[in-house]
Structure 1
Amino acid sequence: MANKVERRSSELSMAGVVRLLAVAIFLGYILAWVIAPTNRYREKWQPKLRADTNSTYFGTQGTNLLIYTFPILFISILGCVYIHLKKGRREDERHALNLTREVNPGASFWRRPALVSGPLGIVSWTELAFLAMFVALLTWYFSVYLSNSFSRITPQSAAKAGEKVWEAKLESAALRLGLLGNLCLAFLFIPVTRTSSILPLAGLTSEGSIKYHIWLGHTVMVLVTLHGLLYVIYWASTDSLSSMLEWANTGESYVAGELALLCGLVLWATTLQRVRRKMFELFFYSHQLYVFFLFFFLLHVGIGFFCLILPGVYLFMIDRFLRFLQSRGRVRLVSARLLPGDSIELNFAKSPSLEYNPLSNVFVNVPAVSRLQWHPFTVSSNSNLEPDTLSVIIKKEGSWTQKLHQVLASSPPERLEVALEGPYGPVSNSFSRYNSLVLISGGSGITPFISIIREFIFRSATGEGATPKIHLICAFKNSADLTMLDLLLPISGSVSDISRLRLRVDAFVTREKAPTGKGDAVRTLWFKPRPTDQPAAAVLGPHSWLLLAAVIASSFVAFLLLIGIMNRYYIYPKDHNTNKVYSYTAKALLNLLIICATIAATAAAAFLWGKQRHAAEGRQVQIANAPTPAGVSPGTWFHNAEQELESLPQESLVRSTNVQFGARPDLKKILLEQEEKDVGVLVSGPRGMRRDVAKICSSGLTDNLHYESMSFSW
């Protein structure tokens, strides 16, 4: 036992060292952006760096590969090692929670909401601080670049170029806006890399980081639009509008830049919230224009300049290809539960080695509904309580979910093809640190809390870790929606006793004054499998993070070797043995081809290796049609009052549940009455509900409420 404790302590220390090293490298990376616009860097340091890296193997792109590409890729490798070490001590973390449940007051303050309403949504003090620092970096970068460039523009220099002073300054400002856009583009794809190992280093998830991608995306489009607009004004003032039709052999290709901007503008227009909510398909399909935006942007600036934003794009390409490989298979759909409130629970077979934390999500594709559309849903099952099952809950709202409900409800098929990507989620359970949890949901917002409650059901039954006091507050429009409470208990019937779980459920039915009487019962459908169906499994097998680190490292090394050979023996001789400079466009396309080839080869090899590792495990998953479980739980009991309870867990859950009709929860009263020292508050539901709860937690009326930010609003 002592050796085990020492080993875990060593792993903890190693994880801390790895994280500290990653932070140090990232600070150095940011410092490179800070000094880039200064005269000292441009006149002294940059020439020296270029002289040292401008070899016959890497050419002019060698400097940018060293300064801007390598650090982020190395941080991502360190992140994979960090997550692997952290996952290795998950069991010990659960036991440690019995002894340490103190919330750091300082850390709690920085997680508290600073802004509740406004265009940015709910923003914590930490996010606000980093946002202010990023804005300061943008301001510094642009102002120093602009000041230094303006200082070199004189009437004599402008006249020599055949321009007026204001025209020269206009052209300089347009160029610097483009450079500023590159700085934002360097970070744009990191938040949407679902298998990102960088985000967990900062305690983030890809789902929770979507808003950062939105902020960066709007900033990028404003900057590149101004960049293009100012250049058009400059060309018009200097009678050189014909430049818009130039595709230069060397330097910037203006036509490619205009095509990139056009793709970006179309993409940008469909990201408006009203368009995204009401016409999701238009948003989804038009968003794929990012491929053409990046392609033409590469041709516009050349591969040397593209290396400034390459690491984020590179990691996203690896993630995207792995998702493509995972999505080619078909996951075995075991059953579906159709609830009277127009909700569906899909239950998939899962590899026992696949572990995920509560609040994880998966992307679901049902070819019978749409072959192209993928939709994210929160995982409601728990990998500890249900080692062989992965479940998601789908509420009938949009056109895709309506079609799915129609397929299952009207004439249920014997088998339904489904593909999954994921699951993706937090590395650790931050909500476990609290003495008490208040879970507030509206409608289908209860979904992420089901996995949390099931996690504590498992802990209370096994004694693994302390279980906090849990108060679930859920608001529904109609009494039929109360059947969502049925899903608190898994369909597998693996729960025998929840009496030790300190759970209280307050359900509010807002649009009805009393129960409507007998309604439809929960309907369970069982599906026949095919031999080709596979259980849901990690895309790279049980040791996914170490394999991901190997993919990143090996693909980048292969890329460096291949471009070195290409530059030394193909491009360099052409550049120096002829009077013509090798085409920037051709060089960019060759680099792109090598990047795609190395990523595809290494990722496919890792995927096949991982697939072989869990193939035997997949064959052990039982393929049996279980009977529909008998019994009901709270939602059905209140919706169909004449039914009888048939199991101890259902009886305990019903006794813990209180339903009020024709009322809304008084959230302020409920929250301010919490007496425990540290109360974690999680909310999932309409935007107004999230803002109300955040406002109460940040009001300063009490210091024991800790708002936990969640993002389930695509």
Structure 2
Amino acid sequence: MDTIRAERETSSHGGGGGGGGGGEVREARKVIMVVVIAVMLGYVVMWIVMPTSTYRYTWVPKMRTKLNSTYYGTQGPQLLVYTFPVLLVALLGCVCLHLGKKSLNHGLKRSIYSSVNLVKSVNMFLLMNLDRKEKEEKRVLAGWRRPALVRGPLGIVSGIELSFFIMFIALLIWSFATYLHVGYSHISKAQIEEDGGQRWKAKWDTTVFRLGLAGNICLTLLFFPVTRGSSILPLFGLTSEGCIKYHIWLGHLVMALFTAHGLGYLLLWAVTGQLSEALKWDKVGISNVAGELSLLAGLILWATTYPRIRRKMFELFFYTHHLYILFVGFFVLHVGISYAYYMLPGFYLFIIDRYLRFLQSRQRVRLLSARALPCEALELNFAKNPALSYSPTSIIFVNVPSISKLQWHPFTITSNSNLEQDKLSVVIKVEGSWTRKLYGMVSSSSIDRLDVSVEGPYGPPSSHFLRHDTLVMVSGGSGITPFFSIIRELLFAVTVLKYQTPKLVLISSFKKATDLVMLDLLLPMSGTPLDLSNIDLQIKAYVTREKGSQGDDKQPRNIWFKPNASDAPISRSLGQNSWLWLGAIISSSFIAFLIFMGILTQYYIYPIDKNTNDIFSTSTRAVLNSLILCICIALTASGAVLWNKKRNAMETKRIINMEGTTPKATPESRFYNADRELESFPNQSLLQSTEIFYGERPDLKRLLFDCKGSNVGVLVCGPHGMRHEVAAICASGLAENLHFESISFSW
């Protein structure tokens, strides 16, 4: 939004035409956000009133009278009230994000290619907006953004997160209590007589049934946080990788409630001598066997999420997590497609995202080169489409089929899309069997190319680091890698845009002195003239397990790979206008689904239900609807990807043939000691900015409290204990100028 404001200002400083368009875009985005908030509030209200007797016995009959039809049957109310609003928000989110991206790109190009005076005027106006925005945020939101909880099962939780968590738990309690009240009050005499005159059996049945209804509330939200290309999360300043903890919370609640629901019925049947009920798969209504199979798949999945199993046996955790397919599939067969529409929107968007990721992963990407560090770290450099842009701290998921065809691992992008337009880099530290195998393969002389696939990049829609007076980055081990992209972004801002960047303090902890070579990756391997002296950077490196330098003078080795005609640079599968294409896929696939489902219901299901004594099977209806849904998603997404693949191929022709940049001094060798030694230019400024401390850990409390400035951003990425220590310092209230933010990929 700040870039949009800057564009308006440029028109009054001789920036040429189009300046007024920024204001129109800003107003359009405001209107969209108002509509989104209104729709979401209405959606939440429907969930609040759902358990009440008014909704069940007054609203639902009226909606069924008006919305039931021969085209959609009894599914109409659920589709309109619970599925359509979320998909509408997702569609509006795509439009809003597209407008923001276009405005950002337009502002950036004008800043680069306009005159210096214009750039300075844009920056001055931008700074004023940032200052004004920061003052407003400091008054209203600064306290809420501080960590409210640091220790405990929830991990590090801000005041905003804790508030929403409490409200969600309140919704669960309200829903369950209201369900019970309504359910108990409507227990009929016939039901009591059916249970042998024992009212407690009817209450037991009512209670465990309502536990399942409460669990469905959690299931409805379960897949939103893991939709990596979500158009909803960015609207609220969220990213998928930052929302993993919400997925974990929801997953535990889902399984706890569904387990209580399933075990409650098994105990009831055992007590009443009706265990044969567990083997029933009714043609119409609830299918008990399908529910038990869904619960079994969920329990296996849930068991492997135990932290010790997940960390020690990641492959087991990873593979069993795919049981979500059986879990959701049997859940739909258990409750029927009509009730499944309550949880459908989140899963619908997740399936679209998952299929788009699948299509992107089919393409092998071109791996240009690598840097093998003596500390068992690896920098991989991929070719990328020049049109592909991403924000600092973005991530990609990497798959190496020769190691594992199914395993995908996330890594932070360390390159900058503005400075390195044809290359994308990630840094991988050896920390497990998969990374060790990769390091051994790349650093050996046995291969001259490597098949690699990627998914992404994914990340925040924009950077917010420039709003701080001082930026403190605290890292441990490989946690330093997200800060490479931030530093390079600030280098771009000060070098190209002539922007006044905040003071930078990098506090890094390493176990051994050999790990200090990780600092050499702050700058690209070649081709970009950067000088760290342009920014106010102070690096404090701590070697915790050694008392001094061990005298190991091993240097990073640069490794170049042979190109392959089938390899392609990294590109977005939906091209530059990816948000618009995603919106088109969401809308067109859902419209196609409604059309085909209506045809199926009108000409196949309805005649059976109304013209014969037989009733159409609930399970068959669920299978047919699910099949139509998947086909519609596959057709629309495949068409969009194929269309953009041609455009990406045209962009690919502009990629510089990196093979010609391989050093001629060693044409027959894959290895050479590159000119990236720590003492060489431009790393001279890096050396001058670095203080190294051996045999001690950083006194984070003293270092953070010593930071001056009214607005100090504190970013931390590293081990669990380090993140909690920094969060506790920022939450203590002893320094009001500290603003905490965690960057973590370990759960």
Check conservation: 1:461, 1:498, Cα contact below 8 A.
no
CA contact (8 A) 2:380 2:425 kept: yes
Quote the offset at 1:500 in angstroms: 1.8
In structure 2, what is the equivalent of residue 588 of structure 1? 622
- Measured against aligned partners, the alpha-carbon deviations of 1:327-349 in whole angstroms (never above 9, x if no partner) come to 00000000010001100000000
Map residues 14-53 of structure 1 onto 2, 5 A cutoff. Answer: 14-53=28-67
State the partner residue of 1:679: 712
2:694 corresponds, among 661, 664, 683, to 661
Question: Is 1:328 matched up with 2:359?
Answer: no
- Tell me, in whole angstroms, the C-alpha distance in 2 between the residues paired with 1:627 and 1:514: 36
Measure how far apart 1:653 and its partner are.
Answer: 1.4
Q: Note the alpha carbon deviations across 1:675-696, whole angstroms, 9 max, x for none.
A: 1110000000001000000000
Q: TM-score, normalised by structure 2?
A: 0.92
Asked if the contact 1:340/1:519 (under 8 Å) is kept, the reply is: no
2:129 pairs with one of 93, 97, 100: 100
Cα RMSD after superposing both structures: 1.5
Cα distance in 2 between the residues matched to 1:159 and 1:518: 84
Q: Deviations over 1:666-714 (max 9, x none)?
A: 1000100111110000000001000000000010111111002323215
The equivalent of 2:669 in structure 1 is none
Determine the structure 2 residue equivalent to 1:361.
Answer: 395
1:163 is displaced (CA, Å) by: 4.9
Post-superposition offset of 1:300: 0.4
Please, which runs of 5 or more residues in structure 1 have no aligned partner? 638-644
Spell out the pairing of 1:108-507 with structure 2 (5 A cutoff). Answer: 108-153=142-187, 157-160=191-194, 162-507=196-541
Q: In the alignment, residue 45 of structure 1 is paired with which amino acid?
A: W
**Taking structure 1 as reference, are residues 487 and 294 closer, same or farther at Cα in structure 2, changes over 3 Å only?**
same
Identity %: 53
TM-score (norm 1): 0.97
Q: Distance in 2 between matches of 1:36 and 1:120?
A: 28
Tell me which amino acid in the other structure corresponds to 2:130: R
Match of 1:77 among 68, 91, 100: 91
Superposed displacement of residue 378, structure 1: 0.8
Q: Give the aligned residue type for 2:82.
A: Y
2:283 and 2:617 in contact (8 A); partners too: yes
Q: Give the CA deviation at 1:359.
A: 0.8
The residue aligned with 2:7 is none
Q: Quick one: distance in 2 between partners of 1:584 and 1:274?
A: 41
Following superposition, the deviation at residue 408 of structure 1 comes to: 1.5
Query: What SS does the corresponding residue of 2:238 show, helix, strand or coil?
Result: coil
Q: How many angstroms apart in 1 are the aligned matches of 2:258 and 2:396?
A: 33
Contact 1:542 1:614 (C-alpha < 8 Å) held by counterparts: no
Q: CA-to-partner distance for each residue in 1:170-204, whole Å, 9 max, x for gaps? A: 00011101111111111000000011001001100
1:360 Cα deviation from its structure 2 partner: 0.5
CA contact (8 A) 1:97 1:433 kept: no
Measured after TM superposition, the shift of residue 210 of structure 1 is 0.4
Q: 1:627 aligns with which of 662, 668, 675?
A: 662
Shift of 1:89: 2.4
Letter in 2 for 1:27: L
Aligned to 2:425, the other structure's residue is in SS state strand
Query: Partner residue of 2:115?
Result: none
Give 1:491 deviation, angstroms: 1.2
Q: In 2, distance between residues paired with 1:370 and 1:163?
A: 60
Displacement of 1:65 in angstroms is 0.5
Q: Secondary structure at the match of 1:345?
A: strand
Conserved 8 A contact 1:486-1:632: no
Is 653-662 or 183-192 further displaced after alignment?
653-662
CA distance in 1, matches of 2:531, 2:732: 39
- 1:314 Cα deviation from its structure 2 partner: 0.5
Report the counterpart of residue 732 of structure 2 in structure 1: 699
Paired residues of 1:64 and 1:304 also in contact (CA < 8 A): yes
After TM superposition, give the deviation of residue 630 of structure 1 in Å.
7.1
In structure 2, relative to structure 1, the CA distance for the partners of 1:19 and 1:671 (3 Å cut) is: same
- Please report how far the alpha carbon of residue 504 of structure 1 lies from its aligned counterpart in structure 2 after TM superposition: 0.9
Q: Is the 8 A contact 1:510 1:662 kept in 2?
A: yes
SS state of the match for residue 100, structure 1? Answer: helix
In structure 2, the partner of 1:641 is none
Aligned-pair CA distance for 1:497: 3.0
Please, which of 56, 59, 75 is the counterpart of residue 61 of structure 1?
Answer: 75
- Structure 2 residues without counterparts, runs of 5 or longer: 1-9, 12-16, 112-122, 664-671
How far 1:631 sits from its partner (Å)? 6.1
- 2:648 maps to 614
CA distance in 2, matches of 1:380, 1:602: 33
1:520: how far off? 1.8
> In the aligned structure 1, how far is the partner of 2:744 from the partner of 2:388?
23
* Alignment partners' CA distance in 2, 1:688 and 1:499: 33
Does the CA contact (< 8 Å) of 1:349 and 1:389 recur in 2?
Answer: yes
Separation in 2, partners of 1:155, 1:61? 31
Measured after TM superposition, the shift of residue 413 of structure 1 is 1.2
Residue type of the partner of 2:204? L
Give the distance between the partners of 1:370 and 1:561, measured in 2 at CA.
41
Instruction: Give 1:211 deviation, angstroms.
Output: 0.4
User: CA offsets, 1:478-505, max 9 Å, x none?
Assistant: 1110010011001133024332211111
CA distance in structure 2 between the aligned counterparts of 1:546 and 1:617, rounded to whole angstroms = 19
Tell me the amino acid that sits aligned with residue 520 of structure 1.
Answer: K
Cα distance in 2, alignment partners of residues 624 and 156 from structure 1? 80
SS in 1 for 2:375: coil
- Asked if structure 2 preserves the Cα contact closer than 8 Å seen for 1:163 and 1:238, the reply is no
| Aligned with 1:539 (options 570, 573, 590) | 573
In 2, the alpha carbon distance for the partners of 1:101 and 1:511 equals 42
Amino acid at match of 1:98: L
C-alpha distance 600-506 of structure 1, shift in aligned 2 (>3 A) = same
Residue 411 (structure 1) shift: 2.9
Query: How many positions carry a matched residue from both structures?
Result: 704
Moved more, 273-282 or 658-667: 658-667
Helix, strand or coil at the partner of 2:200: helix
